[in-house]
Amino acid sequence: MAFSDFFMNNITVVRRAVQASFALFTLYAGYQFFLFYQWSIGQGEYVARPPAVEGFLPISALLSLKRFFLTGAFDPIHPAGLVILMAALTIGLLARKGFCGWICPVGFASHLAQWLGGRLKILLNIPAWSASILSSLKYLLLGFFLYVIVWNMDVAAITSFLQTPYNLAADAKMLQFFLAPTSLTLAILIFLVAISFVLANFWCRFLCPYGALLGILAYFSPLRVNRDPDNCIGCQKCDRQCPGGIKVSQKQTVRSPECIGCIECVAVCPKKDCLTLQGPAGRKVVVWLLPVLTVVIFFAFWATALFSDHWQSKVSPETFRQMYQIAEQISHPTY
């Protein structure tokens, strides 16, 4: 069996395996960071701080990205967060929302909730107009962050923020947020988890500003799913399979910002060459190009950052330790 046939026949298993691998690494990095935090507050032995945890500091990374574009200065405090953001944005431009569909651990958890909701037969299909209204929420959140960060803050303000104790302790404050959530926080988290079993990929489709940004970039991606109307039998299997709720059977070219590049619509289509992955100039390309390109871009950014010394924070463990010890007393700076 050719590799392309094997991939198409097992695409869901392959995608889950890739997502699970990234999710397990994320959990491992999170546990390592917890041990580092425990050491910083005097409750354990020293364990090196994992840079990958900075992937959960998107605001700091977005600030760093703007400063990098304007000055060429790479953030020395949370460099891995900037690298991960740059990788995700590049993937968005070249391989649609492949980061969401193949790498993001939150997306993986969301897809598992969707699968379980389907097995329990509690998953609901909401009308397209309702999904469009709900989807606007993530763009409103994205607009807010872009206005505050990209539009309002100049280089001096960004540099000042990045050097504040708040930014230095941002990862510790994030951990404290989950270790000791308030009643309101806990209620919101429970709601988000519960509704994900009923409305497919609720966070990813309707609330994630990160995904909204990648979706805008993905619109310009050279890769896209194309449908041959003359070959389509109208079975709508592609519609039911799509985690983004896209009506693939009603489109000739899928450019929707909700497309996460999972390619499962192509795999489930019973008609050969009805749904295909197309590249520049409308040329048909092998479907495994998108996930392979996604993973290659991500690891290329990581390897480049690692060997150019732009992955590990320049802040000493002792400085992080001092900041973490007072993290609960540090408030967000105002400008």
Burial class (CB in 10 A: 0-12, 13-18, 19+), 332: exposed
Give the ranges where the chain is alpha helix by DSSP (H).
Answer: 3-9, 11-40, 58-71, 79-95, 98, 105-119, 128-145, 155-162, 165-168, 170-179, 183-196, 202, 209-218, 237-241, 264-268, 289-307, 317-325
Q: How many CB atoms lie within 10 A of CB 184?
A: 8
Angle, helices 58-71 vs 79-95, to 10°: value is 80
DSSP state string for 14-76: HHHHHHHHHHHHHHHHHHHHHHHHHHHTTSS---PPPGGGGGG-HHHHHHHHHHHHHH-PPPS
**Cβ atoms 59, 81 nearer than 8 A:** no
Per-residue confidence (pLDDT) for residue 151, from 0 to 100: 85
Per-residue confidence (pLDDT) for residue 335, from 0 to 100: 58
Nearest of 249, 259, 291, 216 to residue 11 by alpha carbon: 291
Phi, psi of 275 (to 5 degrees): -110, 125
Per-residue confidence (pLDDT) for residue 281, from 0 to 100: 83
Residue whose tokens read 């507050």: 41
Rg, Å, the chain Cα set:
21
Low-confidence ranges of the chain (pLDDT < 70): 1, 334-335
Judging by DSSP bridges, how do beta strands 224-227 and 275-278 pair with one another? antiparallel
CA-based end-to-end distance of the chain: 61
The Cα–Cα gap between 197 and 242 comes to 16
Contacts of 19 (CB under 8 A, 6+ apart): 102, 103, 104, 105, 107, 108, 111
Per-residue confidence (pLDDT) for residue 143, from 0 to 100: 95
DSSP 252: S
Q: Which own/partner contact pairs does 321-324 have at CB distance under 8 Å and 24+ positions apart?
A: 321/39, 321/40, 323/165, 323/168, 323/169, 323/172, 324/37, 324/40, 324/41, 324/169, 324/172
DSSP 198: T
**Cβ atoms 148, 66 nearer than 8 A:** no
Question: Could you tell me the two tokens for 174?
Answer: 């994030």
**Cβ atoms 87, 66 nearer than 8 A:** no
pLDDT digits (tens, 9 = 90+) for 29-52: 999 999 999 999 999 999 999 999
Per-residue confidence (pLDDT) for residue 7, from 0 to 100: 84
The Cα–Cα gap between 38 and 32 comes to 10
Q: pTM (2 decimals)?
A: 0.94
